[in-house]
Structures are given as C-alpha cells and as structure tokens.
Amino acid sequence: MRILIADDDEVSRCKLEALLSKWGYEVISVEDGMLAWEALQQENAPRLTILDWMMPGMDGSEICRQLRQSRKGAYVYVLLLTSKVGKEDIVAGMEAGADDYLGKPFDAQELKVRLRAGKRIVDLEEALRVQATHDALTGAWNHGAIIDMLQMELARAEREGISTGAVLMDLDHFKQVNDTYGHLTGDAVLREAAQRMTRVLRRSDVLGRYGGEEFLVVLPGCEALDAQGLAERLRRCIACDPVATSMGKVSSTISLGVVITGKGERMGVAEVLQRADEALYQAKREGRNRVVVVTGSDLVVVTHGQD
C-alpha cells in the first residue's frame, strides 16, 4: 500500500522512510505541508498518510481540515505525528480531521500497529465505496455512478472545449435468454458481456450497467470516428463467440446508440441520454446487432452484423 510522509525534520523523515519501506509500504516522502497537499490532490493519491503537525507552508492540522472539507475522492486516513501530547492538543488535532495521533519521539511497534488499524479502515471504506457505486452482478459502475460520471465528463468537455461521447447498449432478445435458459444463465451472459466490453474499452472509458440488460459507456475526450470504431468493436466482442454457461453455449448480440458532443458543446445528461436512446431504438428497428450514431439531428446506421 502507498503511504505519504510529510515531515520537515529530515532525521524523523528518514527514519520513517526506512521503517515503512521495511514493512512493505510504497513510500512517498515530502518535507513541507504544501507539497503534501499537492500529493493528496493527485488522482491516485495515497490512502494512508503520516503528517507532522508543525510544518512550513501548511501544518498537519490544516491539511486535515482541508481534506475533510473537500470530500474529494476516496477517504484518506491521517495519522498526525506531533510533540504536542497534551489533551487539548490531541482533541484539536482530532477535531481538525485526523484519524489518529502519535507522539514524538515515536515507538516503532506502536506506529506499526496503528498503521495496521488504519489500513483496515481504508480497506473497509473502499469495500463500502465499491458496494455503493458498483453493480453487484457485473462489477460495472451502477446506474447512479455512471450518470454522475457522464455529467462530470460533459461539464469537462464544455469547459475544455473537447468532445465527449456516450454509448447506450442493449443486449438483443435478452428476455428470450431468461425465458429459455433461466435467470441464472441470463446473469452469466450479462457478466460475460461486461467482461468482454471492459477488455475492449480504452483505459479512460467508463462502463456502467444502466439497468436490466442495458449498459452505458462514457467516452471522455473521444472524437466521432474513434467512437464509431469503438462501438463497432463492442458490437463484435459480444457477437463473436457464444457464452459458455451451465446450460450450454448461448449466443448473443447487442444494439448500440452512439452520441458525440461537438467540441465545447453544451449538452446536458438528459439530452445525451435521449439522443442515445433514439439511436439505440433505431438500431433495434433496423434489425438489431447494429451501431447507430447520432450526427447532428440525423441518425446514421454505421455498422451492422447478421441478426
């Protein structure tokens, strides 16, 4: 696990680095509060941090306060390292947002067990976060989370003057799969579909289960031609091979509706979803196993396979 150390005392910092590396942590070390704050603002910020209370730029308690006020990203567990060990000081540090404290000079074994407790809390918080934001069956983001991500990417696209895309997908004749083979087999088909699509997507793309047999993909910073090509790869990855289940092999296809915003275009979530839904149902009307792309006010069948 990655851990951030922020301490302006070089001797203390080096001792911490040596101990934490020995215990198997990946250590990021900085010497003042501003550098610590910058490290904690990164997308892949450490989830455990040891902050010295008294530091130049920004002290440990102020970093705690800012972290708790921002509520941005995953929870960061903070152990405040301090020579202030009076009851009032400890209360002030905890009220600022620290999760634990340790007096200087610190005992290595005490630090080790406190960090273990911190890691348990971080792991539990992560499990709860995944449970709240992910679909239990497929592992994709759930409806609420994928809509939030679409909203965030549309706002970013408008702000930065770039395009963004959304692909709404529906497994064809899925009710027949459930009726013929049973819901457990239907669940297996959904899981396999999500896994195949995840392998096709770019690292920046986000897959969510929109509901039932529908999936939504958000394509940050994606141009029209790239989105069309990606949608076709998604179509092929579902149609290419039957899904092996306990009831035998089950064939499946998917219909897709693609929407791309113009560069810097203001478009809300409701409008994007409405356009994607229209494109999806045009794909259904055209015979399924199709990709339909919205270009302006037109719906264009770009690619299709055999139904």
pLDDT score at 302 = 64
Residue for token pair 């275009």:
265
- Greater confidence (90 vs 3) lies with 3
Mean pLDDT of 126-130: 90
Residue 202 resides in a domain = yes
Q: For residue 213, indicate whether it is catalytic.
A: yes
Q: What is the mean pLDDT of the chain?
A: 91
pLDDT tens figures, 72-87: 678 899 999 888 767 7
Q: What are the phi and psi torsion angles at 131 (to 5°)?
A: -60, -35
Residues 6+ apart with CB under 8 A from 106: 81
What distances in angstroms separate CA 70 from CA 41, 76, 210, 248, one per listed residue?
A: 10, 11, 29, 51
pLDDT tens figures, 234-250: 999 999 999 999 999 99
Q: Which of 69, 102, 133 is the last residue of a domain?
A: 133
pLDDT class of 306 with cuts at 50, 70, 90: low
- As for how many domains the chain has, the answer is 2
Shared domain check, 147 and 128: no
CATH for 116: 3.40.50.2300
Residue 138 resides in a domain = no
- What is the distance between the alpha carbons of residues 181 and 174, in angstroms, rounded to a whole number? 11
Residue 157 resides in a domain = yes
Q: Which domain holds residue 156?
A: 143-304
Three-state DSSP at 113 gives helix
- What is the distance between the alpha carbons of residues 27 and 307, in angstroms, rounded to a whole number? 54
pLDDT score at 225 = 87
- Greater confidence (307 vs 297) lies with 297
- What is the distance between the alpha carbons of residues 216 and 142, in angstroms, rounded to a whole number? 10
Shared domain check, 161 and 295: yes
* CB-based contact 230:135 (threshold 8 Å): no
Residue type, 207: L
pLDDT tens figures, 247-260: 999 999 999 999 99
**Which is catalytic among the residues 153, 192, 213, 232?**
213
